[in-house]
Structure 1
């Protein structure tokens, strides 16, 4: 594995009143990737967290006047990306080791690789279903009637091309992220990850899952607990299906 300093990354983190877990993530990042450029966005009013000293000269802090969606926040952060790789990381991610070198190696080995993601474990060590097949109308019917989830089997050993990967940790080749104009801000909180993977594939750029790189994710799963979040989830699903699977997709910009 190469040294952490050999991979130039800009890491975008968005806090939604999550100072405690953001602070833990920043501490992890300072340990495994001290030369990262950090863009920290406060999406709501909260107390500012103390940045690790290694990021004092290499961080950008953004305070939103009004809350933005997932895609809008990370697109805003990308304006300050001047590294080869742009990494979107949820605040509830923890890093025991650096995943950046293994992921960057995939980009180096294959110019057509546009998005890479590590395996994602829950706090007990079980691997989450972060790699999935693209959703379809038929697939949703099967999910409701038969319980089929549209998930890849657990991937082990070697990198694998997949349809899409969950947005809790995404590493982009920055020039390709720029070429597709980043995330579609018409979504709010859900399906931005599915959509951008679909748009990368339309350009012929691969989405690759690297099981040898690993992060830990303490998922909040708010859509399971809140009607408001569930409503956002359903509306984003409908937008995606219309945009990518319907004759009405001309209504949306790619």
Structure 2
């Protein structure tokens, strides 16, 4: 068992009535060689599986009312400690330990955040490393004519515009210097905004193909009007903050 409050790696996970997924992720974290401290935020009341409900080596946070993605991870970060800070979705599985390769990559100069290469459950490559979007990109995507994903080859770290928030790995000092996630985004585009702010401050954003994780994507905004509304408001907020003010090279399709 590698979960310890004193570990230099602090991992934050949010569950929104996702206990079944959470059980599998915790089992995978238990099996890793990398020591880590784990904070799990229960965003809504839920009955947890017996295998994790009584765990005292996990730091539990219970919200009186649901909070957004960024707010929950920021509160977990504020509990302090450690050299690295990682944000993970509960619907991830870790068939191997991604953290040594991520630590090595993020310890390089001017690297602000890294992520493993994400796989779908069938083994296909997921799209967690992407170019920054433009309004026209979103129109083309709505009609199935724009991918936006960064082409990845080999195992060496490589630059991406932004990385999906299902798995992000930071040097703690960088996350603190950035002020964490912008809590004005409720659920979507916090990751895009954070990566844009990193690039603007001179940090690199990189995907590490030599590390992998499996993502059982939920895609809630495609079938729930409430989530779709949050998604659209977040897109509007992102473009209000950043449109026309992004770095010219990193993360652009011309890069």
Give 1:50 shift. 4.8
Q: Which runs of 5+ in 1 are unaligned?
A: 248-254
Q: What is the 5 A alignment of 1:186-225?
A: 186-225=184-223
Q: What is the 5 A alignment of 1:51-70?
A: 56-57=56-57, 59-70=58-69
Aligned to 1:150, what secondary structure does the other structure show?
coil
TM-score (norm 1): 0.88
1:23 maps onto 2:17 in alignment: no
Give 1:153 shift. 2.0
| RMSD, aligned CA | 2.2
Contact 1:118 1:214 in 2 (8 A): yes
Contact 1:107 1:114 in 2 (8 A): yes
| Distance in 2 (alpha carbons) for counterparts of 1:244 and 1:155 | 29
Identify the range of structure 1 (28-37 vs 216-225) with the bigger mean alpha-carbon deviation. Answer: 28-37
Number of residue pairs aligned between Structure 1 and Structure 2: 241
Q: Deviations over 1:192-238 (max 9, x none)?
A: 00000001111101111000100001000001111111111111011
Alpha carbons of structure 1 residues 13 and 4: separation in structure 2 relative to 1, 3 Å = closer
Contact 1:23 1:50 in 2 (8 A): no
Q: Deviations over 1:67-124 (max 9, x none)?
A: 000000000100123111100000000011110000100122x221110100010111
Give structure 1 regions of 4+ aligned residues with deviation exceeding 4 angstroms: 49-53
1:76 maps onto 2:75 in alignment: yes
Q: What is the 5 A alignment of 1:13-162?
A: 13-33=13-33, 35-50=35-50, 56-57=56-57, 59-108=58-107, 110-144=108-142, 147-162=145-160
| Distance in 2 (alpha carbons) for counterparts of 1:191 and 1:33 | 32
| Distance in 2 (alpha carbons) for counterparts of 1:201 and 1:134 | 11
Contact 1:159 1:208 in 2 (8 A): yes
Give 1:146 shift. 7.0
| Distance in 2 (alpha carbons) for counterparts of 1:17 and 1:231 | 20
1:11 maps onto 2:11 in alignment: yes
Aligned to 2:70, what secondary structure does the other structure show?
helix
Q: Which runs of 5+ in 2 are unaligned?
A: 246-255
| Distance in 1 (alpha carbons) for counterparts of 2:147 and 2:104 | 30
Contact 1:4 1:33 in 2 (8 A): no
| Distance in 2 (alpha carbons) for counterparts of 1:8 and 1:96 | 22
Give 1:56 shift. 3.2
TM-score (norm 2): 0.88
